[in-house]
Amino acid sequence: MSIIKLLPDSVANQIAAGEVVQRPSSVVKELLENSIDSEAKTIKLIVKDAGKTLIQVIDDGTGMGKDDLKKCFFRHTTSKIRSSKDLFSLETMGFRGEALSSIASVSHMSIVSNQDSSDSLGFEIKLEGGEEKSLSEVVSSKGTSISVKNLFFNIPARRSFLKSDNVELKHIIDEFHRVALINHEINFIFINNNNELFNLSKSIFKERIVRIFGKSSKQKLIPINEETDIAKISGFVFKPEYSRKSRSTQFFFVNKRFIKNSHLNHAVKTAYEGLIQDNLYPSYFLKINVPLSSIDVNIHPNKTEIKFDNDQSIYAILKSSIKHSLGQFNIVPTIDFDNNINLNTPYSYKNKEASIPKVDYDQAFNPFENLTSPVKLKTKDFNFNNIDDSSDQDQLNNELEFLKTNVFPSFQLKSKYIITKTSSGIIIINQKRAHQRILYENFLKELSNKTNPIQTLLFPIKLDFNSEEIRMLKLIEAPLVHLGFKFNSFGEEGIEISGIHPFLNESYTHELFQDFLKNKDYSSDNATHTLNDLIAKLLAKYSSISSNETINVKLQESLVNDLFACKDPNVSPFGKLIFKLISLEEIIKIF
């Protein structure tokens, strides 16, 4: 006797629902996407009890006629694709034809739809657990209204798995953000338990971001714009100092679809390297447009993962364009693109709006020479990027204002930390990291400006490398010469160095070159700013004071002074925390 049976549709749908409908927010996503696919201009979302009682989406899109209404909630019914080849030219959000059937099978659903704007009568179909209960003519305007009540009424285990209303509502809001951000040309209204949470009229992308994330986000945005044959990238990132402890403001939209992609996320994270602490996440709102045929969306039921044909190239383009914008619009690796001797950016940046920053070069710069000048902190651009709360931020800013005008004695702990006081607490500084930050910013300036003095070596250093290594090292020859290195030979038989940068500790010359070779990163993405950044970092690493070096009070003062004159005194070029402020309140708490 045969034991294999075809499952009834109701059971098959419930199984599919397990993948598509995990919680109320999944219903919100699918219904909003259907309304977008229907070319709606205005979409209204109504939610009660975090979606456990009601989720309703009303649109003014194309609507459905009676026949389609009777079919739309069956499994694998879709108006969006006809054959499998359509999967590679998808312009719609939906295509699997399983959202309505999945949702219907685990809820009480009503769909009211009207296709004809000249007729005020449409149809309403009512379903329970996916079964049609009634179909009737009703008064309605053009478009579709879908109500989903009592979600998971027939799967008590799923219902009891739902989290508190607050948590479920948070998921719904996240889903709403994702849809509303990228569809900024559509009006959205979102009502939760009779309160209007959002009322967003159609606008440009930037305006939509600001409407959703608040007015204060406006000044945090840096535009990104890049166009290549492989991908067009546009949108915004937050300045590094506004990085957060959560990932909730990270958005990739590929061809208008919100996606999650750890590889691309890594590209963004590395573009911020040296600008934010390791435990913080940059915020971004990025549109990536690629040819429809170069991606596969059909790899996961909820369609938030996609496969790219060219993911390596997109990674490089993304990283490079963000790095470029961070450098141009803000920020630490400030490079003067006019003066840069070896500028050779791989992509066009023609759409940038802001003026190109100039770096003012301090001829006399030497972090330890300027011992007699008073401590003057240039903290105009200073921000504590690990602080989210704005009142804390204010307090810290006051603190820095105070530091600007006051010199405090400092002392060294374990030849490793410098400790100094502020108006309301103490600051503990990691001396090595602080010095690396100072040197790093200085090397970046030098790389983009003047040619530097050479420190001629009494005895030239000869280093042996194989031909592949020489080929790699050739990439950094010109920038190093610009920084004051002198090479007697640079070829097959190795390198002979007769001059180095005056800050570099001569005995580390070999390590420095070895380290360049270990960093494959720059060879795959040979944008100048990436290369300069790496050179500045490694030179800083081998030129800084060590974490076991006694320095006198004048030098300590100078180090503190120079650190807070840096554009980003918070983290070392390697992303490590440089200092910690311990407030008086914290000290009082101890006792």
Task: Map residue 472 onto helix, strand or coil.
Answer: helix
Of residues 39-58, those binding ligand ADP (CB under 6 A): none
Nearer to Mg ion, 103 or 181 (CB): 103
Least Å distance, CB 150 to ligand ADP, is: 19
Tell me which of Mg ion, ligand ADP, none is bound by residue 95, counting a contact when its beta carbon lies within the kind-specific cut-off of 5 to 8 angstroms.
ligand ADP
The CA distances from residue 573 to 388, 441, 510, 577, in Å, are 22, 9, 21, 10
Question: For residue 251, what are its two tokens?
Answer: 């958005």
Nearer to Mg ion, 94 or 122 (CB): 94
Nearer to Mg ion, 99 or 172 (CB): 99
Contact at 8 Å (CB) between 322 and 411?
no
Binding flag, residue 561, ligand ADP (CB under 6 A):
no
Binding flag, residue 13, ligand ADP (CB under 6 A):
no
Nearer to ligand ADP, 33 or 336 (CB): 33
Compute the C-alpha angle 540/544/547, nearest 5°.
130
Neighbouring residues of 514: CB distance < 8 A, sequence distance ≥ 6:
none
Nearer to ligand ADP, 94 or 122 (CB): 94
Least Å distance, CB 58 to ligand ADP, is: 9
Contact at 8 Å (CB) between 253 and 308?
no
Rounded Cα distance, 71 and 373, in Å: 81
Q: Which of 14, 25, 26, 34 binds ligand ADP (CB under 6 A)?
A: 34
Count, residues in the chain = 591
Question: For residue 57, what are its two tokens?
Answer: 């989406």
Contact at 8 Å (CB) between 268 and 282?
yes
Contact at 8 Å (CB) between 45 and 190?
yes
Nearer to ligand ADP, 94 or 240 (CB): 94
Which residue sits closest to ligand ADP, CB atoms considered?
Answer: 94
Nearer to Mg ion, 298 or 498 (CB): 298
In the DSSP assignment, the letter for residue 238 is: E
Q: Which amino acid is at 177?
A: H
The pattern of x and - marking residues 355 through 394 that bind ligand ADP according to CB under 6 A reads ----------------------------------------
The CA distances from residue 312 to 91, 246, 293, 567, in Å, are 24, 26, 17, 32
Binding flag, residue 38, ligand ADP (CB under 6 A):
yes
Residues engaged in binding Mg ion (CB under 5 A): 34, 94, 99
Q: Which of 99, 317, 318, 335 binds ligand ADP (CB under 6 A)?
A: 99
Rounded Cα distance, 283 and 275, in Å: 13
The pattern of x and - marking residues 121 through 150 that bind ligand ADP according to CB under 6 A reads -----------------------x------
Give the interface with ligand ADP as residue ranges (CB under 6 A): 30, 34-35, 37-38, 59, 61-64, 72, 77-80, 94-101, 144
